[in-house]
Amino acid sequence: MTAIEHDAPVAHAAAAAEQGRLAQAWSAFAESRVAVGALGVAALLILVAALAPWITPQNPYDLTQLSIMDNMLAPGSRGFDGRLYLLGTDDQGRDMLSAIVYGLRLSLVVGIVATAIALAIGAAVGIVAAYFGGRLDSLLMRLVDIQLSFPAILIALILLAILGKGVDKVVIALVSVQWAYYARTIRSSALVERRREYIEAAQGLALPRWRIIFRHLLPNAFPPLIVVATVQVAHAIALEATLSFLGIGVPITEPSLGLLIANGYGYMLSGRYWIAFYPGIALLVAIVAINLVGDQLRDVMNPRLKR
């Protein structure tokens, strides 16, 4: 009798149970209309961002499609070639609508990719720390403490000053400031799970350690991370916007929402509000929607709040 044979039916039953739990979770989630609405908005934004090249009138990153002769047009005006600019244009003659959709796409990609990588690193570090305990645990957690004691924006600024500009560099900076949250979160939930009987059973079966950690401990300690990750996506987007606003994030010819806002900031007082205003609204909607979804997820998953 090998462990694998033994595992199979368990996994099957677990999948069925998982399905039941998912349905249950969804009905709990759907109790809040606001959260469902926010989820809808978030899904719509992701869809729009994914389809950006096909639904926007202009590719704002392609310099041949821009003309400074069409710059700073008010929303609803037409350019030299008769093209309609629904939300106006910025100082380089970028169509604001296209720029916002592309900017949103960049912001979401950066936020989601950075969160996913940080989640993977943080989860691995946290669960290893929790399982082995002792010195390794202290070492890793002190590292996390040090990391968390610095303001995120400060670390990101320093990193970008060293690494230089670029979307990949921003992702690296965001990952470096975020992994510690996941490490801390999963460690605490894994410490609880580690004392459960099924882990003892797995250890009794002399399963390899990596198998216990990643097949048994990780899935059970994971749910709190979903909540943290959702909220952190919003944080990552906001942080990326901040960095780009400060002019050290993405390249200026490929603006994200934060850079679009920075570009328009100087024009706020002079009446050309649309350059900063609409990207600001887009950023606000994206972050609020994701946060609302995250909040509701937390409520659903927190047994103490169960009514």
Whole-angstrom Cα distance, residue 50 to residue 52? 6
Interface pattern 155-184 for another protein (x via CB under 8 A): ----------x-------------------
Whole-angstrom Cα distance, residue 250 to residue 109? 13
Q: How many residues does the chain have?
A: 307
Query: By C-beta, is 67 or 220 nearer to another protein?
Result: 67
Whole-angstrom Cα distance, residue 242 to residue 236? 10
Q: Is 91 in the site for another protein (CB under 8 A)?
A: yes
Whole-angstrom Cα distance, residue 253 to residue 250? 8
Look up residue 202 and give its amino acid: A
Query: By C-beta, is 89 or 232 nearer to another protein?
Result: 89
Based on DSSP, count helices (H) and strands (E) in the chain, helices before strands: 13, 2
Q: Is 66 in the site for another protein (CB under 8 A)?
A: yes
Q: Is 270 in the site for another protein (CB under 8 A)?
A: yes
Query: By C-beta, is 157 or 288 nearer to another protein?
Result: 157
Query: By C-beta, is 13 or 158 nearer to another protein?
Result: 158
Which residues, 6 or more positions from 191, have their beta carbon under 8 angstroms from its beta carbon? 130
**Closest distance of CB 59 from another protein, Å:** 12
Q: Is 272 in the site for another protein (CB under 8 A)?
A: yes
Whole-angstrom Cα distance, residue 239 to residue 237? 5
- Window of 97-105, 131-139, 198-206, 261-269 that interacts with another protein by CB under 8 A: 261-269
Query: By C-beta, is 76 or 266 nearer to another protein?
Result: 266
Whole-angstrom Cα distance, residue 305 to residue 150? 32
Residues 24-63 that bind another protein (CB under 8 A): 63
Which chain residues interact with another protein by CB under 8 A?
Answer: 63-64, 66-69, 71-72, 91-93, 165, 247, 251-253, 266-267, 269-272
